[in-house]
Structure 1
Amino acid sequence: MSEYDVDLFVIGAGSGGVRAARIAAGHGARVAIAEEFRIGGTCVIRGCVPKKLLVYASRFPDAFEDAEGFGWTLPQAPQFSWPALISAKDREIARLSGLYEANLERSNVVVHQQRAVIDGPHAVRLADGSRITAGAIVIAVGGYPVTMEFPGFELAISSNEALDLPELPERIIVQGGGYIAVEFASVFAALGVETTLIHRGGKVLRGFDEDLRDDVQEAMARRGVKFLMNDHVVAIERTEAGKLVRTDCGATLEAGEVMMAIGRRPLTAGLGLESVGVEPDHKGAIAVDEYSRTSAPSIYAIGDVTNRMNLTPIAIREGHALADTLFGGRPTSIDYANVPTAVFTTPEIGTVGLSEEQARESGRAIDIYKTRFRPMKATLSGAEGRMLMKLVVDAQSDRVLGVHVLGEDAAEIVQVAAIAVKMGATKADFDATVALHPTASEELVTLRTKWTGA
């Protein structure tokens, strides 16, 4: 009989925590999990899933316009209801949360729907005061949106509140330049909201390939997003009409809502880490080794709380690997190289591997292949959108180091291309692949001319 109540206790029932719990239980471990909010975590409840549903909604105006070019006549102007969308979104999120909970129960994982904190190297204490001992504890609490402190900062909303606004504002200001900022700015603009994005930097999406950054910002501007770059909000005042925003560079703007999307930080405050000698860094992130173990031998951490690579599929992989390591007899670490990612603006970005800039900084000689073109769908619809496809290739080995796509279905295209990049495919392998015609993605296997910068 084990000296502990459970073999594994997971704090946080998001994507990573749920996967760790279910896989560990499948290996025969006795597992419990605690969640203080809703089962499903950031991605399912207030992150990528509801956001993607809003992205879909925001693209219907384009579809209605495109339809006319293909012979369709709409009998009347389409009408949009934000409350109806949010209600439908809420129903889907409730369904998914219920599925997560049901899957945990089917896996024989004991679920505690309350807050849990660490109470020693082998114990947690629940909000109801009960104490549970565990052979190992996994911290999978994720992160939270951060804000800047300035006069009136409490009048701003985050992405959490943006997903549940009772009605759409006529005007919105979004502060930030990362995934969340550009995605929400794109959604709001497409739904008819006068949208201004303010960013401290000169370009959005720092760390992405420069061509992607330039092209998506230009495309968003064409679609109505106004940009104030190299600036930031310094004050918000409430007015009869809404909110008055002042910026560091002296601009004064009126808006119905102000959304801060300047990053997220690990949700480790008050978690009891000091009781086991684990010291988070200045951002609250927990340092771990390649097997997700903290400085305390019985305490592990996965997902955004470690601030390694903050993507849902990574958290899931880390949770699975941890369960296999602890209970499956298969010590498993994660390979963080060549992880594909997407930005669901309109047009969207799909990217995997090294950007051109990263490849050059590595000191290797590279070849660039890229093309910009009008997709076939736009020839009849009359849409202005263009696509960008780009390959970064090692000049010596011919290996494809990066694939970067901007345009419709970019994420779907890059998910498949990522397999080739992960396997070490060469440009010759791409060239030897027969094109699937007529598609946009065939451009990836028909690029023949090296880009010279002309």
Structure 2
Amino acid sequence: MHAETPSRVVIIGGGPGGYESALVARQLGADVTVVDRDGLGGSAVLTDCVPSKTLIATAELMAEMNDAHELGIGFRDAEGDPAAARVDLARVNERVKRLAAEQSADIARRVEREGVRVVRGLGRLDGPGTVVAALADGGEERLPADAVLVATGASPRVLPTAMPDGERILTWEQVYDLDEVPSELIVVGSGVTGAEFASAYQALGIPVTLVSSRDRVLPGEDADAAQVLEDVLRRRGMKVLSQSRMQSVAREGDVVTVTLSDGRQVRGSHCILALGSIPNTADIGLEEAGVILKDGGFINVDRVSRTSARGVYAAGDCTGVLMLASVAAMQGRIAMWHFLGDAVQPLDLRNVASNVFTAPEIATVGASQRAIDAGEIQAETVMLPLRGNPRAKMQGVSDGFVKLFCRPGIGIVVGGVVVGPRASELIHPVALAVAESLTADQLAQAFTVYPSMSGSVAEAARRLHQFGPPHQF
């Protein structure tokens, strides 16, 4: 008998959607090649999630030091005078880039150890069954494939009237080359990326002006959560310009001027553009191979990551499904489970937990307040401020809340929001409840440590108790 020839899988892009799918495909016995241009981990590791959250970790420490006086701690210099914490941005960014490079190298070692071949270059489709790699060191290589996964990610959106120069007008991928502390930073865009950078740089002691075209920051997030964040940012001294649409950004010497559509001008030393993302789908042979693109150039996929072309899958930001590294990785895994015949559950966005790494953090999972208010889902709501939590009082935390949503009558938890320090950790029990269809009573009856922030999750669940026969475990 002849041994069955392994399936050939070629993956274009080495980000979370790419390298996670490569690991699954190898685990299931496929012959796997990843064509990667910038380094394994993609923008998530090299220019986005890992660097920004490393910067934010430094900002968190800075904020805690600046608020330490409320807990009875003061800082004094050698002469005994009060001393303020100061940031060395060059050292911070050197550490940011070093950690990103180390994480990328860790991923590369892992995939190569598992037997994945990595080709350095730029991949494009030549029909649905072949990938052509333009090699980084010159030349081309043709890679026949039984299945192709496109995981090419996305890039910062720029406008002709607001072009970055990499020095004072910056995209979020360019901020880590800063070695001087901005004297006045303007952030254009109040979505997740803009809010995170504005919050972080403000915590580092840099004056920040946030230009928002909408009536509030984080227009896509829970309105109560966004209001808490905006109140905190303003209280800490940030200038938030609501309903202020950017028309242009220009630089003259050391001064950057942001002109708004109503003629007002905002001046600063540096500007970060956070205008959204565009998918990296142009000129890589997608449409010629029969792959249908949606508005904006995003790849149309179903819930098992299939495109309209047979044998071609896609995962991650290039699909525009939900721009999170965790979703990209799951889309990639699902694609390989589906193609290689393993058990697979279609992608279910209702179970996705996400977090905005501002100060305070905003974490969400499941159903949203917006969907409930619109009548799309019936749910009862309870919102419990953190200021009543004993651990929060001990730590000097007065901003934030826990909000839970559950089905009326049956009490199943369908969603939640946590606003506060480390909300990204506190959302996990709520995410488990949503994923496993637990009732509010079941969530409430699990023991929590006293005192702890997580006690507020259990307390919110207790307030959703619906009187009736005891639940049968």
Q: How does 1:326-365 map to 2 (within 5 A)?
A: 326-365=339-378
Q: Which moved more, 1:163-172 or 1:46-55?
A: 163-172
Deviations 1:207-237 (A, max 9, x none): 3221111111111211222111111221223
**Residue in structure 2 matched with residue 9 of structure 1 by the alignment:** 10
- Provide closer, same or farther for how the CA distance between residues 446 and 259 of structure 1 changes in structure 2, counting only shifts above 3 A: same
Equivalent residue number for residue 150 of structure 2: 139
Size of the alignment, in residue pairs?
450
Structure 1 residue 68, shift from structure 2 partner: 4.4
- Whose relative contact order is higher, 1 or 2, with alpha carbons under 8 Å and at least 6 apart? 1
CA distance in 2, matches of 1:368, 1:219: 24
C-alpha distance in structure 2 between counterparts of 1:262 and 1:443, whole Å:
35
SS of the equivalent of 1:292 reads: coil
The Cα shift of 1:329 comes to 3.3
2:102 is aligned with 1:91: no
1:289–1:240 distance in 2 versus 1, CA, 3 Å: closer
Please state how far the C-alpha of 1:242 moved relative to its aligned partner: 1.7
Give distance in 1, aligned partners of 2:112 and 2:303.
30
1:116 aligns with 2:120: no
What percentage of aligned pairs have identical amino acids?
29
Q: Distance in 2 between matches of 1:434 and 1:126?
A: 54
Q: CA deviation at 1:310?
A: 1.5
Q: Secondary structure at 2:208's aligned position in 1?
A: strand
For structure 2, which runs of at least 5 residues remain unmatched after alignment? 78-82, 465-473
Q: Which one is further off, 3-12 or 440-449?
A: 3-12
Counterpart in the other structure of 1:53: 54
Change (3 A) 1:32 1:435: closer
Quote the offset at 1:148 in angstroms. Answer: 2.7
Cα pair 1:392 1:400 within 8 Å, conserved:
yes
Moved more, 90-99 or 178-187: 90-99
- In the alignment, is the contact (CA less than 8 A) between 1:7 and 1:30 conserved in 2? yes
The letter for the 2-side match of 1:125 is V
Residues 151/64 of structure 1: CA separation in 2 closer, same or farther (3 Å cut): closer
Match of 2:133 among 99, 103, 126: 126
1:319 to 332, 335, 341: 332
Distance 1:368 1:6, change over 3 A: closer
**CA-CA distance at 1:373 after TM superposition:** 3.6
Q: Do the aligned residues in 2 keep the contact of 1:36 with 1:115 (CA within 8 Å)?
A: yes
Q: 1:152 to 1:357 in 2, by over 3 A?
A: closer
Q: How does 1:163-178 map to 2 (within 5 A)?
A: 163-178=176-191
The residue that corresponds to 1:104 in the other structure is: 111
Deviation at 1:279, TM superposition (A): 3.1
Partner of 2:304: 291
Q: Is the 8 A contact 2:228 2:400 kept in 1?
A: no
Task: Please name the residue that 1:248 is paired with.
Answer: 261
Of 397-406 and 264-273, the range deviating more from structure 2: 397-406
* 1:62 alignment counterpart: 63
SS across alignment from 1:279: coil
**Which of these residues, 373, 383, 394, is aligned with residue 370 of structure 1?**
383
Extract unaligned runs of 5+ from structure 1.
Answer: none
Contact 1:435 1:446 in 2 (8 A): no
Instruction: Please tell me whether residue 279 in structure 1 is matched to residue 280 in structure 2.
Output: no
Shift in Å, 1:436: 2.4
Between the aligned partners of 1:371 and 1:219, the Cα distance in structure 2 is 18
C-alpha separation in 1, matches of 2:123 and 2:386: 53
Counterpart in the other structure of 2:430: 417
* Distance in 1 between residues matched to 2:279 and 2:4, nearest whole Å: 31
Check the 8 A contact 1:5/1:133 in 2, yes or no.
no
Distance in 2, matches of 1:212 and 1:235, equals 30
Verify the 8 A CA contact 2:185 2:270 in the aligned structure 1: yes
Distance apart, 1:426 and its partner CA: 1.8
Deviation per CA, 1:315-372: give whole Å up to 9, x if none: 1111112222222533442222121110000011111112222123235543221122
Report the residue type matching 1:134 in the other structure. A
